[in-house]
Chain A
Amino acid sequence: MYGKKGSELVRELASSEPGQLSAFNNDLFAQVIEECTGHLLHLGPLIRKIEQIKKIEEVKKLNNQELEESDKATLKAHNSGALVHHLSLLRNKRCLMAYVYNRAEAIRSLGWAIDRVLPEEIEEKLSSSEKEYFKNHAASLQSYMSELDLDLAVDMVPPKDPYIKVRVLEDIGNVVLSDQSANLACHAILFLRRTDAEHYISQGLMEELNG
């Protein structure tokens, strides 16, 4: 059935958690494009045939003649055939665009949360053009922020305390924080600037301690 694969693609997108990326479905994506080319191949000859019949009709009209019944029937058939192919094509295109657009949105929001380097487990889910897109997006964000001289990626809700108590979950080693250097050894407990810690917490290398 025409358009089935396209809808599968969209369904896959809809069934995943919002904001979460699943692996880019290269296979299905290519199949849908292939289907589109198939539609185009069908559509071209049909349109040409319709135009031929239309020309015959115009010529006949000048001679005050009607189209023959058989030609009328084929025109009708060709018309509806072209319509089906055309609409399927449009629909597939919309499905593909929705798939790509929604993923791009998720990637853009990633650009705010993570700076520059994608974690491996996310990177392997992206297609090559998406990787490129992320890189360029992050770069333009960075250049905008450096132009403004303001970090726009911070939490919108201001924290109650500029400092935070965390436990280090994996050996990170000696690290230069915003103005100090600290040894982030496994199991150490640190009380440090929230901005320094956020980065590690988002990567799952630290956990916040309260109480």
Chain B
Amino acid sequence: MVREQSIESFYSRLRESALASASSTPLLIFPSTSDVDSLCALKIIGRVLESDSVRYACYPVSSFKEIHKYAGPNLGASSDEPITILLVNWGCHRDLRKVLEIGPSARVFVVDSHRPIHLHNLSDRNDRVVVLYTKDDEHQADLAYDFDISALANAGDLNGDDEIEDKSDSEDENDSESEEEDGGGFQGTRKRRRVSQETEGDPVKLFRKLKKEYYFMGTFHGKPSGCLMYELSHSLRKNTNELLWLACVALTDQFVHERLTDERYHAGVMELEQHINSSGNLDTITSVTLKDGTKVTAPDTSRISYEDEPRLMLLQEWNLFDSMLCSSYIATKLKTWSDNGIKKMQLLLARMGFAREECKQKFQYMSVEIKRRMKDMFEQYLPEFGLTDFYYRGFLLLHGYGSRVSAADVVHGVTALLESSVESDGSSASKQFGVAYDALSFNKLEKLEIGMKQAIKVQRSILRQGSSAITKKGSIRSGSKFRWVKLEDSADTKVLCHPQALTKFGYFLMDALREKGARMKPLVCACYTQERDKVLMVGVCGKPRLGAVQGNAFGIAFRSAAEETGAEYFHELFESSWIVLDSVAVNSFMIRLTEKLL
């Protein structure tokens, strides 16, 4: 098996399996180093396991094969030592059993928000892999299936023989053949209609069609792993405010990196608001009686609150002026890279009555008056400039009277820490993971500040590169199905040559293009590494919308195009729309990709 539908039974199976193998090895946890959600989920599940005295060893990984470096021979088929593995926020979109060569005595548990889940991982016959995939998650997903996934997954094994290895091989061949037939993912929608018309023909054919439909929907994201793990800690009565905050950060991570629809974000926010209310964050001020009897009001050490937050990045670490200048939302709407845009922004500030000197002051030291009036003023004047949804519901962490950190800023800061490795090899990624792990603690705000400073650098590079791509003619090339842009030859590539940063850059460009009135098309960003021998490619498909029929379809197309070029490529990153290529192969790759997505 297996698909596990309830979080509690998933955890009890995990614990049982871990205790059964505890005589020889601890539970091995492999969190993904590529997003904040995985960090949050790891911290929460770690806390739960600790309170149950389950020993574990945790090795951050950034690609599929890295796991073998740490797991040793026990994972493979030859060993009969029982071993339990937990993958946090990666892995379920590939056939784990095949890709990781999992032996019969190993059990792999997966908590992952990446969709679609590989059907072999969900199949009841595959008892080495246990995937947590709740019914709620399936029903609330951004993209809905109109068929039963479990049935489809199980059907996969029914028409094959018992040798699953052989069968899956031939199936994969079928997959790639059919990809070639219809040339990539963008035709999935047409297929879907045809499938529903074709009533119960050959069951094998029907199965193939449904499967194609399932995979060609493209990639998207399910419920954040951090939130799932918080639900677990809640149901086990092990939830604390700190864990709740991590769940808030996990949800905000998906929001900041545009991995979920607004509707689902609001649903998630409401759920977490209820948790916040019920865990005593409401009684804002408690009074403390000193030794001599005087009563002093003192705020709780730290509490979580929710408020309408402006779409301004890293305000606490920055100043109002620069934050407005660089934040993707305002920058793309007002085109703050042009003289005209700056004038507009200054006009806006002037109309609101904020002195320019004050706005350039570090936000912490900006006049209290402005801070107080900020929200009213923004809401009054911004619509004149076409900025209507400037405020969104977000979470805040308050420490006493002094510091307030918004969850979005934490996400920006921690992501920047995760991606500020000097070299791109795995070892420094795991080091950065450690730094980010510390920065996410309640009491290590100074490390978070370093991350926020780095995030500011990233955002400035995005603005610089984004505006030059927009203003310079010919730097964004347009195909019939997608656009693409190449980043090379600048100091900024060093900062932007990380998947999440490059994705942010992609979203910035798409927003800017939309403001220019261009037709919305998916975008491929390519960024050369410092040494210019490798290229990182990221496919961006725009913010997910409710009722969309198509997720990010670049994954399959990337892989088959890269295979055809015959050059060396690295598609083992945890998001299938991320790929690393040899720089010589870029042109032929792009040609093939264009053909695939015609």
Contacts and interface: CB of A to CB of B under 8 A. Distances in A.
B420 to A, nearest CB: 15
Given A182-B26, A190-B58, A163 B53 contact: yes
24 contacts: A162-B53, A163-B53, A180-B22, A180-B24, A180-B25, A183-B57, A183-B70, A185-B70, A186-B431, A187-B430, A187-B433, A188-B57, A188-B59, A188-B430, A189-B434, A190-B26, A190-B57, A191-B26, A191-B46, A191-B54, A191-B58, A192-B26, A211-B443, A211-B444
A193 interface: yes
Nearest to A191: B56
A182 B25 contact: yes
Contact of B50 (A165, A167, A193): A165
B427 A186 contact: yes
Given A180-B25, A191-B50, A211-B442, A185 B55 contact: no
B23 interface: yes
Nearest to A171: B427
B50 A181 contact: no
A190 B58 CA distance: 6
A167 B437 CA distance: 11
Interface residues of B, number: 30
Nearest to B74: A181
B59 A211 contact: no
B75 to A, nearest CB: 12
Given A174-B72, A182-B26, A187 B46 contact: no
Interface in A114-158: none
A179 interface: yes
Nearest to B431: A187
A182 B21 CA distance: 12
Given A163-B50, A167-B434, A190-B57, A180 B26 contact: yes
A187 B72 CA distance: 17
B25 A190 contact: no
A171 B441 CA distance: 25
Contacts of A191: 26, 46, 49-50, 54-58
A211 B441 contact: yes
B23 A180 contact: yes
Interface string B431-467: 1011001000111100000000000000000000000
Interface string B13-32: 00000000011111000000
Given A188-B58, A190-B26, A211-B443, A183 B72 contact: yes
Given A180-B22, A190-B55, A191-B54, 7 more contacts: A182-B26, A187-B433, A187-B434, A188-B57, A191-B49, A191-B56, A191-B57
Contact of B55 (A181, A183, A188, A192): A192
A181 B24 CA distance: 6
A179 to B, nearest CB: 7
Interface in A92-110: none
A188 B433 CA distance: 10
Nearest to A207: B434
A184 to B, nearest CB: 8
Contacts of B443: 211
A136 B376 CA distance: 79
A37 to B, nearest CB: 59
Contacts of B60: 187
A167 to B, nearest CB: 6
Interface string B367-402: 000000000000000000000000000000000000
B434 A190 contact: no
A174 B55 CA distance: 16
A192 B50 CA distance: 10
Q: Which 10 A-B pairs have the closest CB atoms?
A: A187-B430, A189-B58, A211-B441, A190-B57, A188-B59, A191-B56, A187-B434, A182-B57, A187-B431, A192-B55
A163 B51 CA distance: 10
A182 B70 CA distance: 9
Interface in A157-209: 162-163, 165, 167, 174, 179-183, 185-193
Query: Quick one: which of A165, A180, A188, A189 has the most chain B CB within 10 A?
Result: A189
Contacts of B56: 190-191
Nearest to A162: B53
Contacts of A187: 59-60, 427, 430-431, 433-434
A43 B53 CA distance: 72
B56 to A, nearest CB: 5
Interface string B35-74: 0000000000010011001111111100000000111100
Contacts of B55: 163, 180, 190-193
